Structure 1
Amino acid sequence: MADEMVLRAQRFINLTYMDGATLGIPKLEENGRTGWVVMYALTRALQYELGITALSNSFGPTTLSTIQTKYGEIDDTRLPSPNFAKIIQSALYCKGYDGGDIDGTYNSRVHNAVLKLKDDMGLGETYPNSSLQPKVIKGLFNMDAYVTVNYGLDKIRAIQRWLNSRYIHRKDFYVIPCDGHHSRDVAKSMLFAIQYELGMADGVANGAFGPGTQAGLKARTVSVGSSGVWVQLFTAAMVLNGRMAPFTDVFDAGFEATVRSFQNFSQVTQTGAGDFPTWASLLVSYGDQTRAGTACDGVTKITPARAAALKAAGYETIGRYLYNASTTSLPEKEIQPGELETIRAAGLRCFPIYQTWARSVDYYSPAQGVTDCRMAVHKAQEHGFKTRSRIYFAVDYDAMDDEVTSYILPYFQSLRREMDRLGDPYDIGVYGPRNVCSRVSGKGYSDASFVSDMSSGFSGNLGYPLPADWAFDQIVTKTIGSGDGRIEIDNNLASRRDRGQSDFHPTGGERLDVAFDPAHLALMGMEVENYMAEIGKPGGVGRVYTVRECFDEIMRYDDTITAAARTFRMRKALIQTSAFWERCHYSLKDQVEDAGVIEYHTGIVPDWAKDLPGVEKFVDSSTGIAKISGRTGILSRNWAILAGMLQGDLLGHLRAEDRWAMWQRLYGDPVFNLTTVAYLHMWGADGKPGDVAEPPMRLPALDYTLDETRTILRRYQGTPDSVAVEHAQLRMPLYAIFERYNALIRNR
């Protein structure tokens, strides 16, 4: 929304400084909206009026010292020029304060605005007059807010104002925002405050968590009964890290419980006191780097000797990479043949990481999300990770918050959608700075975070709390072991949210199926059509789709079918055959039954069925692309949940509302329907527990025999004493067509 006074400020800059030419910038857009471009122009104009020749967007040391040296303070008796006053008035308006008419006078409205500004900064008592001190002027010429904005917290604003009031006279401490939000500037100001209280002189205190600061904090433990400024700093740090704590100078028993909760969350020994490890976790992202982690990650192959060294050092879980985009560097970055078996044999576990380049903002896009999801799923299946493993997708650079909004979130949204399209074979985690992890998980695109906390200077780490869903916290690089067991790793704390995997599919031997090559589509389609014509199926009248339409629809979802087949180590021809056969046999009768199910549960016949004859209420029907009923969908998916292959709530196959919920997904979501085919085959192989029981047999496998294939196709359709036996025999040549082309592509 345009502001008339901001608009006047923009016009003043354009008219006074020759459309920006004098200031070395383009003409300002006169839109009445403040922003960094306007602040940069005002800063340059201020420098110009001060006689500074090298103009800059930054209100830096030269600008500050020039004001200090020439004027000390600015008020109605000490003004460099009327234009200088107009610049101050304009800046006040851009900050939301009444600067009076932009007339070049330090009038009573300017006096009142300055008093209000300094009070909002927490400097009302420190600087009680209406003059502008150099550091206050510096705080005026930026986009920081000094009142709560965007749901800022009053408690955090109180801390910000307190820090300003207590430390503004120190040389390297500048006015920080008082907007009620933790930030990079606030986090650094806390480190300065601690260094000042430790007695460090100006020029020595630097806002870094160095050896001197760490040594000082080791002697500054606060606990129940403590009081004073160190308790204030400690409670402030707790509040800034998202803890429900008071900002106070008294450490009482109630606060001790809050400290223990934070220590438990952050994997710090629960002492209930503000000791060094707790101070470290509050002040810097990597915390106390001497903490022993139980997880690690690295780019080096885990050999038996290295596995033994890791085990002896207390490690339980290892992060390894699914893929290495480079053919020359880090030759062992990708999981090597036999490595996962070595990890398993040593009693260790593994979690997979996916990263190609991912080191700058231009890598991330929705299209890249699709590509990365497909490649990660492909490589995870190839390496033997079972369904429900969690893959951590990397954001391995210092992503600015606006980049997270514009690039990272759309990338993960696309990745999440593609994982759903592939049948949700793996869970999604995110690796990156704290802000990236929190925002991605906050959108529901991931469910666990692997936090790159070693990079403490990242803008996405400094000033952000540890994500609530953290699984691994990367805090330091170290080398363990010796001789053949020597290995460099990143030491990670583990929250137990994700313990990694300890059991893997065997690799080698029979190859997994791969995506279909469209070059073979026409020929395979012709063979399928010819075979169906030869056997006279589906035959009769009343069929909804032609054979070719059914074939094209099945092949349109080749990515979903391929992912399901690879995930569960079965031949994709098994899914293709069942789904295609059922789709070919979808009839007008099936349409009538589907309409009847909708009427049964909603009381309304759908518009598309108004002219269908004989619509009657049905509680359930075989529906969707592979003709699966709500009842069998529930039974097969319940089986998968109990087997640990699928996440979700168990449903009641006899409860009408549960069958209706399942039916709707099977009816309206082809990806869900086709993925369920895989679960139906596995449930059928296990003897269909909960249904008409049959003897259990081996679950579908890459080396299934013809007899096993025939039996599983029959069980999909019906019992041994039904037409399903005949149809299974008829489907075997169809299976052979699909399998022949699939084998041609996967083996080339």
Structure 2
Amino acid sequence: MADDMVLLAQRFINSYNVAGIPKVEEDGKTGWSVMYALTRALQYELGMTTLSDSFGPATLTALTSRFPVIDSGTRHGNVYRIVQSGLFCKGYDGDEINGDYTGRVAAAVTRLKQHMGVDGVYPGGGLTPKVFKALLTMDPYVVVGNGTEKIRYVQQWMNGRYINRRNFFVIPCDGMFSRDVQKALLYAIQFELGMSDDVANGVFGPATRQGLRDHPVGEGSSGVWVNLFSAAMLFNRRPGVDFVDGFTSHLARYTSDFQSFVRLPVTGRGDFQTWASLLVSTGDATRAGTACDTVTEITDVRAAALYAAGYRYVGRYLSNVSGSTLNKRLQPGELRRIASHGLSVFPIYQTYGGEAAYFKRAQGIADAHAAITRARGYGFKPGTRIYFAVDFDALDYQVTDNILPHFRAIKATMDEYGREFEIGIYGPRNVCSRVAAERLTTASFLCDMSTGFSGNLGYPHPIDWSFDQISTISIGSGTGQITIDNNIASGSDTGQNSFNDESPDNQLDVGFDLAQRNALLADIQTYFVTALGVPEKGGPNGDDGTGRTTTESVDIVLDLDWLTTQLSRHFRMRKAMIQCPLLWEIRKFNIFDPVADDAVRLHYTTGVPTGKDDCSTGLAQIFGRTAIRGRNWAIAQGIISGTPTDPDKGDDIWAMWQKLNTDNIFNVQTVPAVLGWGAADLGLARPGLTTSEDDSRRIMGRYNGRPPDSDNYAQAMIGMYRVFEKYNAPLRS
């Protein structure tokens, strides 16, 4: 919502005709672009030759030298206007942007300092440099979101106590634990340890660790160390805790609860390991875990070494990264070998997952299908939890825009195709917590070893954590030596130690080799022209309204190769059988198809029946009734999960038709179910990896209708099938 005074601040910024001060949008909405521009304007007024968005040491030094305190005696109109603009952008009363430091401005500055907790250090209505620096940020000084007044009080206390230390700056007072607040707490600890401004750095280093070992707190302790310990407990969202300076029995009980939660020895005291777990994501990284994960095959001697070192749970990978030479996936027979040494296994699915662009709905569907196929192939039993990896420092907006849609797709796909498995997530704390909050996962495997991740800094342990990755170490010696990531286990996931027989996937179809795209296209074009009389554009008799060329149609099918590959593997049928009707229906799309679609919509939405209650629709041109029958067949066969619907019920037809019409992925996912139902309708066996060419022809023909009306369609399909198999078959190992 636009604010008139923020709009005036933006107009003031835009009154500068200075190369280093960019124009801002005059929309009345505050934001970092406005604060950065005000920072540059201040730097310009201070006579600095280099203008930047950063209010860094040079800006602070120049400001302190020129204006140690800005008040009514400063007499600098534009500096006053910058102050007034900053106040309005922060939600305070800057009077007018008129270049006067009025009583209203002084009162607003006083209120700002009270909200920051520094009014006792900087009394009166004057603006000091560190407060000015904080003014030109987007940090709030009132409780926001799910912040709490208890945390806000601690933030204000820290500001008031440490603001005069050189490296300590005003932190937000929003009641939220964040990266900046976590670092400020480390600074506070270092200051109380007696570190000078030249030594204190906000890093959990050796001197800080030793200092905490020297300052345990427990029942009967009092003073600032109890203040800091209770602050750390509050920041980690421990229920029932108050900010106190005396270590009471209540605090001891809550400390014990925290220690139990993160699997520390339960002492009820603020010992070093407890301090560490409160302050840094790894906690005490020297702790010995009982779980690990590794990219290395576990041989008999390695398994024995792991068990001897106290490990009981091992994370191993279901897949390799495409194009990588690293063979990290489980090897044949490895699961039983691991189990024979008293170890359990939890599976991890990760191909890449190292940047936001990887995460999207389509990739989530593909990953879920691949994980299901791999897990079943290795023999993992129902109840196994598969951990899907988010292996980068996802910012909060990337969680919203990328990670959540990805995991919604995983959940929907697993619910339909792999309901026997549970879904876990590996990633930073914030990512795990946000995905779990939508009930998309049932456990979190934390990448806490990445202590610098913004998604770990300032975020407490997710309540559903199962494994906590804290260090990389080497176990064993000689042929038994293995490098692992050392994990703390919560006990909520004990992995699997018995398995079904392995089912090799070397006869299943794999992804298409795009280097063969031009050759495939040429063969399809030749077949269409010579056998079917279908040119590159239009129908057999010229342009009959067909809307796509053969080239466009083949490229659409190849763009969906990730999906048809996974569907073929899940249904254990030849991919070519799915590709053929899909390609043909895409190629034959014409101007009459949208007309039929409109008639169906009118039938259901206007209340005036048109008599057209169903039609073939979407990429693969499937009728709503046909899709219902196909999916009912797949549910009955146990291939997918779901509730059967009625092909003769209008509401069910309409609901199915809309999904087919609006969701291309759902439409294509329905193709193999329709093929399977068609085989059953013809009295043929379910399509499989060894289905004969003649049965394949008849099954694909049924996609278009019953024989003899579908005979020509069936014949066209089998010729296409041979072309696709020419390229698919050699790729199967």
**TM-score band, normalised by the shorter chain?**
0.7 to 0.9
> Once the 2 structures are TM-superposed, how far is the Cα of residue 625 of structure 1 from its aligned partner?
3.4
Alpha-carbon separation, structure 2, partners of 1:168 and 1:2: 34
Q: Between 350-359 and 449-458, report the one with greater CA deviation.
A: 350-359
Q: Is the 8 A contact 1:425 1:563 kept in 2?
A: no
Match of 2:486 among 481, 486, 491: 491
Q: Is the 8 A contact 2:22 2:37 kept in 1?
A: no
Residue deviations 1:109-164 (CA, integer Å, cap 9, x gap):
11100100000000121111111111111110100000111232101100100000
Residue deviations 1:464-516 (CA, integer Å, cap 9, x gap):
00111111100011111001101111100111222122122333668676599
Residue 55, structure 1, aligned to residue 39, structure 2: no
Residue 439, structure 1, aligned to residue 434, structure 2: yes
Trace 1:619-658 onto structure 2 (pairs within 5 A). 625=629
Q: Is the 8 A contact 1:422 1:559 kept in 2?
A: no
Aligned-partner residue type, residue 172 of structure 2: P
SS at match of 1:299: coil
Q: Determine the structure 2 residue equivalent to 1:455.
A: 450
Go from structure 1 to structure 2 and tell me whether the alpha carbon gap of 1:243 and 1:40 turns closer, same or farther (over 3 Å shift).
Answer: same
Residue 99, structure 1, aligned to residue 110, structure 2: no
Q: Is the 8 A contact 2:220 2:246 kept in 1?
A: yes
Q: Determine the structure 2 residue equivalent to 1:548.
A: none
Q: Determine the structure 2 residue equivalent to 1:193.
A: 188
Q: Is the 8 A contact 2:508 2:689 kept in 1?
A: no
Trace 1:361-440 onto structure 2 (pairs within 5 A). 361-440=356-435
Alpha-carbon separation, structure 1, partners of 2:445 and 2:504: 33
Go from structure 1 to structure 2 and tell me whether the alpha carbon gap of 1:217 and 1:335 turns closer, same or farther (over 3 Å shift).
Answer: same
Residue deviations 1:184-210 (CA, integer Å, cap 9, x gap):
000001000111111111111110000
Aligned-partner residue type, residue 34 of structure 2: V
Residue deviations 1:158-194 (CA, integer Å, cap 9, x gap):
0100000011111100000001111000000100011
Match of 1:311 among 287, 307, 311: 307
Alpha-carbon separation, structure 2, partners of 1:28 and 1:732: 69
Q: Determine the structure 1 residue equivalent to 2:528.
A: none
Q: Is the 8 A contact 2:378 2:503 kept in 1?
A: no
Q: Determine the structure 1 residue equivalent to 2:230.
A: 235
- The sequence identity of aligned pairs, in percent, is 50
Alpha-carbon separation, structure 2, partners of 1:729 and 1:374: 27
Alpha-carbon separation, structure 2, partners of 1:84 and 1:627: 70
Report how many residues are paired. 591
Aligned-partner residue type, residue 493 of structure 2: D
Aligned-partner residue type, residue 170 of structure 2: V
> Once the 2 structures are TM-superposed, how far is the Cα of residue 26 of structure 1 from its aligned partner?
3.5
Trace 1:262-411 onto structure 2 (pairs within 5 A). 262-330=258-326, 332-411=327-406
Residue deviations 1:360-394 (CA, integer Å, cap 9, x gap):
22222222222222222233233332333222111
Q: Determine the structure 2 residue equivalent to 1:124.
A: 119
Alpha-carbon separation, structure 2, partners of 1:729 and 1:199: 82
Go from structure 1 to structure 2 and tell me whether the alpha carbon gap of 1:337 and 1:113 turns closer, same or farther (over 3 Å shift).
Answer: same
SS at match of 2:629: coil
Q: Determine the structure 2 residue equivalent to 1:248.
A: 244
Q: Is the 8 A contact 2:424 2:442 kept in 1?
A: yes
Trace 1:167-178 onto structure 2 (pairs within 5 A). 167-178=162-173
Q: Determine the structure 1 residue equivalent to 2:129.
A: 134
Q: Determine the structure 1 residue equivalent to 2:35.
A: 39
Go from structure 1 to structure 2 and tell me whether the alpha carbon gap of 1:301 and 1:165 turns closer, same or farther (over 3 Å shift).
Answer: same
Aligned-partner residue type, residue 153 of structure 2: A
> Once the 2 structures are TM-superposed, how far is the Cα of residue 423 of structure 1 from its aligned partner?
4.2
Q: Between 341-350 and 33-42, report the one with greater CA deviation.
A: 341-350
Alpha-carbon separation, structure 2, partners of 1:106 and 1:558: 69
SS at match of 1:450: strand
Aligned-partner residue type, residue 3 of structure 1: D
Q: Is the 8 A contact 1:86 1:102 kept in 2?
A: yes
Alpha-carbon separation, structure 2, partners of 1:321 and 1:516: 20
Q: Is the 8 A contact 2:69 2:128 kept in 1?
A: yes
SS at match of 1:105: coil
Q: Determine the structure 1 residue equivalent to 2:160.
A: 165
Q: Determine the structure 2 residue equivalent to 1:685.
A: none
Alpha-carbon separation, structure 2, partners of 1:23 and 1:271: 61
Q: Determine the structure 1 residue equivalent to 2:3.
A: 3
Q: Determine the structure 2 residue equivalent to 1:614.
A: none
SS at match of 1:625: helix
SS at match of 1:287: coil
> Once the 2 structures are TM-superposed, how far is the Cα of residue 422 of structure 1 from its aligned partner?
2.1
SS at match of 1:110: helix
SS at match of 1:224: coil
Q: Is the 8 A contact 2:281 2:451 kept in 1?
A: yes
SS at match of 2:42: helix
Go from structure 1 to structure 2 and tell me whether the alpha carbon gap of 1:458 and 1:628 turns closer, same or farther (over 3 Å shift).
Answer: closer
SS at match of 1:216: helix
Aligned-partner residue type, residue 321 of structure 1: Y
SS at match of 2:348: strand
Trace 1:611-690 onto structure 2 (pairs within 5 A). 625=629
Alpha-carbon separation, structure 1, partners of 2:115 and 2:185: 19
> Once the 2 structures are TM-superposed, how far is the Cα of residue 732 of structure 1 from its aligned partner?
6.3
Go from structure 1 to structure 2 and tell me whether the alpha carbon gap of 1:565 and 1:230 turns closer, same or farther (over 3 Å shift).
Answer: same
Aligned-partner residue type, residue 10 of structure 2: Q
> Once the 2 structures are TM-superposed, how far is the Cα of residue 222 of structure 1 from its aligned partner?
0.9
Q: Determine the structure 2 residue equivalent to 1:83.
A: 78
Alpha-carbon separation, structure 2, partners of 1:96 and 1:468: 35
CA RMSD of aligned residues (A): 4.0
Aligned-partner residue type, residue 506 of structure 1: D
Aligned-partner residue type, residue 377 of structure 1: I
Match of 2:465 among 467, 470, 473: 470
Aligned-partner residue type, residue 629 of structure 2: I
Alpha-carbon separation, structure 2, partners of 1:734 and 1:378: 19
> Once the 2 structures are TM-superposed, how far is the Cα of residue 14 of structure 1 from its aligned partner?
0.7
Go from structure 1 to structure 2 and tell me whether the alpha carbon gap of 1:343 and 1:565 turns closer, same or farther (over 3 Å shift).
Answer: farther
Alpha-carbon separation, structure 1, partners of 2:179 and 2:168: 14
Go from structure 1 to structure 2 and tell me whether the alpha carbon gap of 1:239 and 1:380 turns closer, same or farther (over 3 Å shift).
Answer: same
Aligned-partner residue type, residue 346 of structure 1: H
> Once the 2 structures are TM-superposed, how far is the Cα of residue 659 of structure 1 from its aligned partner?
12
Go from structure 1 to structure 2 and tell me whether the alpha carbon gap of 1:321 and 1:734 turns closer, same or farther (over 3 Å shift).
Answer: closer
Aligned-partner residue type, residue 112 of structure 2: L
> Once the 2 structures are TM-superposed, how far is the Cα of residue 251 of structure 1 from its aligned partner?
1.2
**Could you list the runs of 5+ residues in structure 1 that have no partner in the other structure?**
520-556, 577-606, 609-622, 649-657, 671-712, 714-726
Residue deviations 1:44-71 (CA, integer Å, cap 9, x gap):
0000000111001010001111111222
Go from structure 1 to structure 2 and tell me whether the alpha carbon gap of 1:207 and 1:303 turns closer, same or farther (over 3 Å shift).
Answer: same
Alpha-carbon separation, structure 1, partners of 2:418 and 2:293: 28
Residue 28, structure 1, aligned to residue 32, structure 2: no
Q: Between 221-230 and 159-168, report the one with greater CA deviation.
A: 221-230
Go from structure 1 to structure 2 and tell me whether the alpha carbon gap of 1:295 and 1:69 turns closer, same or farther (over 3 Å shift).
Answer: same
Q: Is the 8 A contact 1:148 1:179 kept in 2?
A: yes
> Once the 2 structures are TM-superposed, how far is the Cα of residue 278 of structure 1 from its aligned partner?
0.4
Go from structure 1 to structure 2 and tell me whether the alpha carbon gap of 1:179 and 1:736 turns closer, same or farther (over 3 Å shift).
Answer: closer
Residue deviations 1:640-699 (CA, integer Å, cap 9, x gap):
9xxxx99x9xxxxxxxxx999xxx9xx8999xxxxxxxxxxxxxxxxxxxxxxxxxxxxx
Q: Determine the structure 1 residue equivalent to 2:199.
A: 204
